[in-house]
Structure 1
Amino acid sequence: MVIELLMTMKKILKPSQEQLNQLQVEYQAEIEKLATEQGIWEDTTKFFVRARK
């Protein structure tokens, strides 16, 4: 059980190039579903901060 968990964690933390490519394809497909002519609505709060010492 522990070894299986460690192997799964390794796959998640260090995906192969093939897994990264598949993730990119799936992500792009999801973004295209959300996109409109005006862009993509993202309902999250963002803070743009500028600091100087």
Structure 2
Amino acid sequence: MDGLIDFFQTNGALVISNPTAFATFAVLFGSGGFVVGRYFLAERIANLESRIAR
């Protein structure tokens, strides 16, 4: 966690000068991670849903 805080402290000026690009990449990587996670965990989720249905 300290590494992330240090990263934002050292690159804060870059983020502040380009907030649109930062927000765009944050949304793209966040949604991409969600889609990949859903893809790889779809079978496990289906198994748990079938257990609940029983």
TM over 0.5: no
Shorter chain as denominator, the TM-score bin is 0.3 to 0.5
Q: TM-score, normalised by structure 1?
A: 0.41
